[in-house]
Amino acid sequence: MHYENYYTLNCIITIKYKGKNIKIRKEDFYMDGVLATTHYFSLEDSRIQYLQCVNCGVWITHDESEWVYCYDKRVNRFANTKACTKCYKTIKKEADTYLYHKKLAKGYLDELLFINTRSVINSDYETDSAFFSNYEYCYLTGIKCEGSYDKKTVHFDHFIAIDTGHVGRIIGNIYPIFYQLNLLKSNKNPFEWIKEKEICNRISQERWNKLVNYFAKCFGLTLDEYKNFVYWCYSQPRRIKDIENDGNTPSIDLWRKDKRKRKYLRLVENAKFWRS
């Protein structure tokens, strides 16, 4: 990561860990003068990280904690955070109930995908803003955004539509687009959408090529592989239940797994053919 202006402040603090007072290093990471994150490390071994259970506040090591999506009083919102193994089960139950109710609300699919996939791809904001340089302009046409808040004329679009139940609101799938184009794109496969005469007349082919190559790069794929992945997402749509079942496995890994399975089945078929 590269930031123009960042620094860390360290100090030693005393905490109660497993009934004993121990000293650990508190590391505050600042970006442009604003505290971004705080981490706690062992003085002896900086690979050992400490944290406080989101629920009971007891100090635990990273290895003794479980990820849970729940209400975090420290940040006043629902967040992906960590709990001790004792609290984990109860919190998980509450969080599931919360998510179940949220499911009925619009935007749940978006949120669910975000939670399940965001940690996977390098979500280095700097890299992203360096590529787009200005979110006020539609990337494909150069049209400038007018209006503010919900009246903005340049929107963020999920390149692979959220309706597929894949990928979601992550770096490598989001780009600024003029709202009229966004409406026309709707939930279509972008590689099919671009073939429409009206669309390819309106957007810059050069920008399109840049965009799809950038997305491919975000996933560490060649353009052909990326296209293949996009078509796969549209051919294997997931419902909320499917995404929950797949857990934290991102779409790209599901695609890779499926590709290997297909290759294996082809080999088996070929072997059968040669034997018969």
**Residue span binding Zn ion (CB under 5 A) among the ranges 76-84, 181-189, 200-208, 213-221:** 76-84
| Residue showing tokens 């903005």 | 152
Among 24, 50, 52, 53, binds Zn ion (CB under 5 A): 53
Among 68, 70, 84, 112, binds Zn ion (CB under 5 A): 84
Q: Is 55 in the site for Zn ion (CB under 5 A)?
A: yes
Q: Judge whether 16 and 59 are in contact, CB under 8 Å.
A: yes
Among 9, 13, 36, 56, binds Zn ion (CB under 5 A): 56
Q: Which is nearer to Zn ion, 87 or 254 (CB)?
A: 87
Give the closest residue to 230 by CA, choosing from 192, 183, 264. Answer: 192
Q: Which is nearer to Zn ion, 78 or 159 (CB)?
A: 78
Q: In angstroms, what is the minimal distance from the CB of 55 to Zn ion? A: 4
Angle at 193 between CA 191 and CA 195, to 5 degrees: 80
From its phi and psi, is residue 211 left (phi > 0), alpha (psi between -120 and 50) or beta?
alpha
Please tell me the number of Cα atoms within 13 Å of 77 on its side-chain side: 3
Cβ-proximal residues to 169 (8 Å cutoff; 6+ apart), any chain: 110, 113, 114, 118, 158, 162
**Residue span binding Zn ion (CB under 5 A) among the ranges 56-64, 212-220, 244-252, 265-273:** 56-64
Encoded one letter per residue, x for contact with Zn ion by CB under 5 A and - for no contact, window 87-126 reads x---------------------------------------
Please tell me the number of Cα atoms within 13 Å of 226 on its side-chain side: 20
Token pair in block for residue 196: 């429409």
**Residue span binding Zn ion (CB under 5 A) among the ranges 47-55, 61-69, 116-124, 154-162:** 47-55
**Residue span binding Zn ion (CB under 5 A) among the ranges 12-20, 26-34, 78-86, 159-167:** 78-86
Q: Which residues contact Zn ion (rule: CB under 5 A)?
A: 53, 55-56, 84, 87
